[in-house]
Structure formats: C-alpha cells, structure tokens
Amino acid sequence: MKRRSAILTGAGLQRIAVALLVLVHLVWVAWGRGPGFLVRRTLGLLTGPSERLAQRWEAWRAARDQRLRGLAEAQAEIQRLRQALADAQVREAQAAPRLAEAEEAVRLLGLQHQLPLDLRAARILANTRNAPFGGLLVDRGRDLDLREDQGVIAPEGVVGRIWHVAPTQSTILPLDAYNASTAVMLGRSRATGVLQGTGPGRAEIRYISSQEVVQPGEPVFTSGLDRVFPRGLLVGYVSSVRPKDIELRIEVSLAAPLDRLHLVLLLPPSPPLELQAAAPPQPGSSPDAGLPRQAPAKGAR
C-alpha cells in the first residue's frame, strides 16, 4: 500500500505522464509510414551495398553490350565497304580495257581528221611479234579491199605495213621486224636512210654517211621514198649513234607502242609523197590527236 501510494503521488504521476508522452511519440515515430517500414528500411540498409554493387555491375554490362554492338555494327560496315570496294575495283578492271580502247579511238579519230588521206581503221586481233615471222593480226582484209604494202599508223607513230592479206584478216609487218625496211629521214639533218628492225621496239637506220651530224634524241620521220608512207610521219627517236666504217650506226627507239596497240589506221595504197597542210583541229578532238606529227617543211629550217 505504501509503495502504491508513493507511485500515485504527484511526482510519480508526472513521471508516468512524461514517460507515456515520450513513449507515445516514440511509437508514433517508429511506426513510420506503415508496419513494415522499419523492416523494409532495415533490409534496405542491409541490402543497400549489394544492390548498389549490382546496379554498377548491370550498368557496366549494359555499357559493354552497347560497345560490343557498336563494334559489331562497325565491323559489319567495314565488311560491307570492303565488299563494295572490291566490286568497284572489279568493275573498274573490267571497264579499263574498254576505256583505254575508247581513248585510243578518240585519238585515232583526231588523227584521221588531221591527215588528208582516205584512212581506214582496223582492230588488232593478235600480237605475234615475238614469234618467228610473227606480226600484228588485224580484223580487216580483202573484204575492205586491202592490199599488201599499205602503210599502218597509230596516233603515236608509224606501226608498219601490211604484209599479207586474207579474206577477212591481214597481217602487219611491224617496223621492228628483222625483215622490215622503211625509208626514213632524220629530223634535223634531213639525211635519208633505210630503217631496219632489230628487235622488239627497236630498229636502226642504215646508209647514213658518217659525215652527218646526228644526235641522240633526234626525231626520225618517214621520207616517203618507199611509196608506202607519205613524208613526215613520226617513226621514232635516235637512241644512240656510233660510227661504223663509212656510215653511222644509228639506233632508233620506235614511237609507236607496238605491244599496247588496239586500233590502227590503214593508209591508202601508194599515198602521195607530200601531204597537204593539216586541217585545223576539230572541236572535241583529243589534244594528243596530232600524232604522228609531221616533219617541218624543208625550207623552214
């Protein structure tokens, strides 16, 4: 009884009231936003580090996947571009011969306009110059009324003459053939001689007196004395000069690229010795279409 009365005194009741007040607030605050709030909060605190670690792991994986996707797309693009480049190179390689032939045809057309002769074009079918008694085979023959010893020229220079005529094809004896002889003259001294073939792309001039002054690099033109070529068509350039007995041994590098010819022009039989003045260049003609160039007039020196 005494103890109960001690509790129920004013001070005791006040202490109880204070304790209840604090306890009610504590419960109210601790209850939070719901019965499971503290549990969730505690679990959240405990699992927070692992969740943050997992989030960083997932973010790293997502970034890596993104990089890998980007890399795969880039590699596929590179592969596609490589394929496109290879296709383009194949197309270019396929079109290169036709393009070269077209350019050659343009130059041939310009030459045909500049020379006042009845020129006819022919396509080279085969090149058998390296074989014994070989030559160039063209696709024109008796069907075009061709005859032996008609001159053959290209934009770069003289090619040779027709050696044999078949019904639909002809054989050309090139200038570098051992049995080929062409009447030529030197560009500066105007000395005339005979050009004889000595091998692929080369020939030498015979019957030039050792009294003549000949320098390497001097152009060599046709002289027209053989009645196969008119005077003044470019044959080649002097590559070396050596004295040999009473005449000079003059080696010539031929101007026409005999290995790379596709189209040639056929001169008419027995052309005139002198050509008329060249016609003015036609609009649209190639700038290289003046070949083979003609030698200057004799009085012009």
Partner 1 sequence: MSPKPSPLPMKAEALALLTLVAIFLLAPWPNVQAVLHLLLVVGLAAQARSPLTTALLACAAGWIVEGTLRAVPRMGGTPLADMAVALVARYLLARAPGGRLAAFWSRYAVLAAAHGPLAHACAWLANGPHAWGWGWLVSLLTVPLWGTVAWRLQRRPFDR
Rg (CA), the chain: 49
Span from 13-21, 116-124, 205-213, 227-235 in contact with partner 1 (CB under 8 A): 13-21
Angle 213-215-219 from CA coordinates, rounded to 5°: 110
Nearer to partner 1, 48 or 199 (CB): 48
Q: Does 36 bind partner 1 (CB under 8 A)?
A: no
Among 3, 4, 33, 98, binds partner 1 (CB under 8 A): 33
Angle 251-186-274 from CA coordinates, rounded to 5°: 135
Q: Strand, coil or helix: what is 253?
A: strand
As measured in angstroms, the least distance from the Cβ of 18 to partner 1 is 5
Nearer to partner 1, 17 or 86 (CB): 17
Among 21, 71, 85, 297, binds partner 1 (CB under 8 A): 21
| Lookup: tokens for 51 | 């969740």
Among 30, 93, 131, 277, binds partner 1 (CB under 8 A): 30
Span from 26-34, 77-85, 137-145, 225-233 in contact with partner 1 (CB under 8 A): 26-34
Query: What one-character DSSP code corresponds to residue 204?
Result: E
Among 1, 29, 93, 300, binds partner 1 (CB under 8 A): 29
Instruction: Name the nearest CA neighbour of 237 among 253, 251, 248.
Output: 253
- Residues ≥6 apart with Cβ < 8 Å to 28: none
Cα–Cα distance for residue pair 40/99, rounded to 1 Å: 81
Residue with tokens 């023959």: 141
Q: Does 41 bind partner 1 (CB under 8 A)?
A: yes
Among 6, 7, 32, 89, binds partner 1 (CB under 8 A): 32
Among 7, 22, 81, 279, binds partner 1 (CB under 8 A): 22
Q: Does 7 bind partner 1 (CB under 8 A)?
A: no
- Residues ≥6 apart with Cβ < 8 Å to 103: 286
As measured in angstroms, the least distance from the Cβ of 54 to partner 1 is 21
Nearer to partner 1, 18 or 78 (CB): 18
DSSP string, 69-97: HHHHHHHHHHHHHHHHHHHHHHHHHHHHH
Which residues contribute to the site for partner 1 (CB under 8 A)?
11, 14-15, 17-18, 21-22, 25-26, 28-30, 32-33, 38, 41
